[in-house]
Amino acid sequence: MDPQPFVRLSVGQLGLKLPGGNASKASSRLCDCEIPARRFPVQTRRWSLRRRRSGATGSPCCLHHGWAGIGKGAAEARPELHLRVKMEADPRYIFQFDDEVALNPQVVQLHGSSRQPIFSCKFIRDRRRPSQGDGQYWSSSGGSEETDMEMAMRRERKGWKVVIHDLSGSAVAAAFMATPFVPAPGGDTVARSNPGAWLIVRAGTTGSSDSWQPWGRLEAWRESSSSAPAASSRDTVRLRLHLLPDGQDDCVLVSEAPLGSDKGGEFSIDMDRQAPAPVPAAAAAAGHCAVSLGAACAGGGFVMSCKVEGEARSSRPFVQLAMRHVTCMEDAAMFVALAAAVDLSVKACRPFRRKPGKKAASPSPDPLELDT
């Protein structure tokens, strides 16, 4: 696999020094700093005031490290901002599903104008009908309109599974729906108090899919923007990823992010944005992190991201992986399985009593219509 060149620009070590007596009055305050960059979202960070200069040493990749005057007026009367701007190479592998996850697509690697197949994706679901026992699933293939009672029977989404195969046909990673997506009592959507969850696994050391090794747990639920039904398009799907250390009961939170239910968004693992949070302790997981994510836990930095579409749109997940965290094909496949779970979580968090709308710019039926 050939990576594409990327450059990572980091802004850190922020400090603010106010002139004259203002510094003593504001020494205990916290300030918010907005860093806008063209074609990038504004990021806000909180930092403390600094009243004294501190020495700093540069580095070959350091573009700026020190104090700079900000604002208008005479130099001695202007506030000063301390920051360190660092630039470093950050090559990444780029992958994309060539169709929706539920349609068993190939996963191709993008490099320039070339698209090279790397993996294949197999989606499996439980197609049980109400006559087969629990009455949890419904079908729209009968040609008649569903009644309110029939739609109310759709109270659970479970049994979804995505298996990632390499070019030889061997299963190398997978995502299993470990906890069903069910509505909250008295509600119609998956709630934070009882989120749906996926188990992300990779093939064991024997290379057989019969010995899956758990790697992470992805939880998902829906957060409403308003009690008004018309505002449902502004709801968000909240995603939370924990690592599962080998032989340990503790797990490590590495990412939590919202995605727009209507337009989708990006889910990422970036240790510079969110330090690993232990549940309850990360010390025992340090070795696991080093194996699973390279130097991500210890050294920080970007690990992966995936972009997905909203709940009613045709989605082909777009995945970026930092080269330094991919040591073998199984590593890449594991993150591809995670991206598939992220995409399907947006669909699984759709309201249960509302029939999915027609996909944007697509005349074909929803491949998950039987389950949602």
59-68, 111-120, 329-338: least confident range: 59-68
Span of 48-62, 105-119, 143-157, 331-345 with lowest mean pLDDT: 48-62
- In the predicted model, is pLDDT for residue 189 greater than 80? yes
Is residue 243's pLDDT more than 80? yes
Q: What are the distances in angstroms from CA 331 to CA 160, 203, 212?
A: 22, 10, 14
pTM, 2 dp: 0.75
Mean pLDDT of 15-42: 66
Do the bridges between strand 251-260 and strand 277-279 make them parallel or antiparallel, or are there none, so unpaired? antiparallel
Does residue 54 have a pLDDT over 60? no
The predicted-structure confidence for 134-167, as pLDDT tens digits, reads as follows 333 333 334 445 555 444 446 789 999 999 999 9
Q: Of the spans 146-155, 243-252, 294-303, 342-351, which averages the highest pLDDT?
A: 342-351
State the pLDDT confidence band at 11, using cuts at 50, 70 and 90.
confident
Please give the pLDDT value at position 58.
35
pLDDT greater at residue 362 or residue 202? 202
Whether pLDDT at 191 is above 60: yes
Each domain of the chain, given as residue ranges in start order, spans 7-89, 92-348
Higher pLDDT, 126 or 50: 126
Does the structure show a pLDDT above 60 at 50?
A: no
Residue at 258: amino acid letter:
P
Highest mean pLDDT among 75-84, 326-335, 363-372: 326-335
Quick one: pLDDT at residue 47?
Answer: 54
Backbone angles phi, psi at 229, to 5 degrees: -60, -35
Mean pLDDT is lowest, of 81-85, 100-104, 293-297, for: 293-297
